[in-house]
């Protein structure tokens, strides 16, 4: 049989599979592996959301095909959430669409608006779908380093865009950022929107960690910038804010042309998420928000234990202002290993699973990512394992 699948051949082997298989093998041998790898929330979905889904699932009519762009009441709830949260007005009919998680939405948006010959600007390191969504769609990706400051990133794109022929079609960004936990304030988005308007570039922003922010920091929305809807869309997901990762509920808002393009292509791919899940998502967005604060406080507590503990071990790591991640430069004594080999060593010697930075782009290869998915006791156990490893070496 011929192995002639050019779209698949553009995708490199998924580097996280390597560490994932090693982790699975270690657990099969009976080893207790403390897992900071995948950013997979470990908490229960708030009970009032679960009960609403069960209530809706008992109704016969909710078991029919749904709408790929989301039921009207959910799209209204999405727009209400933006109005209450960011004082942004959106039209639920033309400026909001539900997605099966933001990952699906970004991938299908790329398929809808990109083709061979198009170029997409993406920060590097970056969440993989921001890089490979455009690749799957056939576009070329220009990686823009974002290893130092976000201001340097702005300066870089301002320098490179005028010299590109043809000009890039789309710029994809994500703040607060996965994996780096970098944060921005509204003036950053004002500059970014101005650049994209000047050069006729679509701007796609992934706001997955809008609610997972600490120490008084409040992540802005690109939609708060006047005129942003002319060129921009923004994604949000309920996965982190409401401990709903497996529910696969997200949405995109903003430019009506891009919302329409995503709606059109999704109508060929899916019939939408199960209606009772959409009904429960309305309650998540419009119901009590104490659960969101509790979830955020939980991540903050884990962050404090992990980052303070790493610094005490002599591993300098910045305290993230947002996200469920800590982005750590490989300790000097191990820097020659690069991220994949270092992650393997940490798994073998400290019994701790982390994500190698190379999985987020070549500019991440001097770093590893910790996900805050282990409780404080397990985190302290991991720190003891790392201390033993550093002492042996």
Average pLDDT across the chain, whole number: 93
In which residue are the tokens 């069960």 written? Answer: 54
Rounded distance between C-alpha atoms, residue 169 and residue 200, angstroms: 8
The structural domains of the chain, with segments of one domain joined by +, span: 6-44+290-392, 47-288
Helix, strand, coil shares, percent, the chain, to 5: 50, 15, 35
293: which 2 tokens?
Answer: 């604060």
In CATH, what is the architecture of 47-288? 3-Layer(aba) Sandwich (3.40)
* Tens digits of residue pLDDT in 55-79: 999 999 999 888 889 999 999 999 9
CB atoms within 10 A of CB 340: 18
Going by pLDDT thresholds of 50, 70 and 90, the confidence category of residue 1 is very low
d(CA 279, CA 92): 16
pLDDT of residue 393: 65
Are 339 and 370 within 8 A, CB to CB? Answer: no
Furthest C-alpha separation in the chain: 63
Residues 213-234 have a mean pLDDT of: 97
Reply yes or no on whether the pLDDT at 252 is more than 70.
yes
Q: Are 66 and 56 in contact (CB under 8 A)?
A: no
The pLDDT, as a whole number, for residue 32 is 84
13-22, 100-109, 261-270, 374-383: segment of lowest average pLDDT: 13-22
Matching residue, tokens 């130092």: 148
Angle, CA 179 vertex, CA 312 and CA 90 arms, to 5°: 130
Q: What is the pLDDT of residues 127-177, one digit of tens each?
A: 999 999 999 999 999 999 987 788 899 999 999 999 988 899 999 999 999
Reported as a pLDDT band with limits 50, 70 and 90, residue 3 is low
Lowest mean pLDDT among 8-12, 33-37, 228-232: 8-12
**Tell me: the pLDDT tens digits for 22-51?**
788 888 888 888 999 887 888 899 999 999
Q: Which two tokens stand for residue 130?
A: 């921001």
Across-strand partners of 338? none
Q: pLDDT tens-digit profile of 291-336?
A: 999 999 999 999 999 999 999 999 999 999 999 999 999 999 998 9
Q: What would the 3-class secondary structure string for 80-138 be?
A: HHHHHHHCCCCCCCCCEEEECHHHHHHHHHHHHHCCCCCEEEEEECCCHHHHHHHHHCC
Question: What does residue 391 show for φ and ψ, rounded to 5 degrees?
Answer: -70, -40
CATH no., domain 6-44+290-392: 3.90.1150.10
- In whole angstroms, give the CA distance from residue 335 to residue 290: 42
Cα 300 to chain centroid distance, Å, stands at 18
Strand partners, 170: 120, 202
* Distance, CA of 193 to CA of 198 (rounded, Å): 8
Span of 72-76, 127-131, 187-191, 222-226 with lowest mean pLDDT = 127-131
Distances 254 to 27, 187, 198, 323 between C-alpha atoms, Å: 45, 19, 18, 23
| pLDDT for 5 | 76
Distance CA 153, CA 68 (A): 36
Count, in order, helices (H) and strands (E) of the chain.
14, 12
């Amino acid at each position: 049989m011929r192995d002639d699948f050019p779209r698949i051949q553009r995708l490199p082997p998924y580097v996280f599979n390597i560490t994932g298989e090693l982790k699975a093998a270690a657990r099969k041998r009976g080893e207790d592996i403390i897992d900071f790898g995948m950013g997979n929330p470990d908490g229960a979905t708030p009970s009032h959301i679960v009960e609403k889904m069960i209530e809706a699932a008992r109704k016969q009519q909710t078991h029919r095909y749904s709408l790929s762009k989301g039921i009207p009441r959910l799209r209204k709830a999405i727009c209400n959430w933006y109005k209450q949260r960011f004082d942004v007005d959106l039209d639920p009919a033309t400026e909001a669409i539900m997605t099966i998680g933001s990952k699906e939405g970004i991938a299908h948006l790329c398929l809808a608006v990109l083709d061979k010959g198009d170029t997409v600007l993406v920060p590097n390191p970056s969440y993989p779908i921001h890089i490979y969504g455009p690749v799957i769609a056939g576009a070329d990706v220009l990686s823009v380093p974002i290893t130092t400051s976000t201001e340097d990133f702005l300066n870089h794109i301002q320098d490179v865009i005028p010299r590109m022929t043809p000009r890039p079609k789309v710029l994809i960004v994500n703040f607060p950022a996965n994996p780096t936990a970098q944060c921005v304030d509204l003036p950053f988005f004002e500059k970014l929107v101005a650049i994209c308007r000047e050069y006729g570039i679509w701007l796609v922003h992934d706001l997955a960690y809008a609610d997972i922010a600490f120490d008084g920091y409040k992540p802005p929305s690109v939609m708060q910038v006047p005129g942003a809807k002319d060129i921009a869309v923004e994604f949000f997901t309920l996965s982190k804010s409401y401990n709903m990762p497996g529910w696969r509920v997200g949405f995109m808002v903003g430019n009506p042309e891009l919302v329409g393009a995503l709606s059109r292509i999704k109508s060929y791919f899916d019939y939408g998420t199960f209606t009772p899940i959409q009904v429960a998502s309305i309650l998540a967005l419009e119901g009590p928000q104490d659960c969101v604060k509790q979830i955020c406080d939980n991540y903050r507590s884990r962050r404090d234990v992990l980052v303070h503990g790493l610094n005490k071990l002599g591993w300098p790591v910045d305290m993230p202002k947002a996200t469920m991640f800590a982005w750590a430069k490989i300790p000097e004594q191990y820097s020659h290993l690069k991220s994949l080999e270092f992650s393997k060593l940490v798994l073998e010697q400290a019994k701790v699973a982390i994500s190698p930075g190379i999985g987020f782009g070549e500019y991440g290869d001097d770093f590893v990512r910790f996900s805050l998915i282990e409780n404080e006791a397990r985190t302290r156990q991991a720190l003891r394992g790392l201390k033993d490893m550093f002492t042996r070496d």
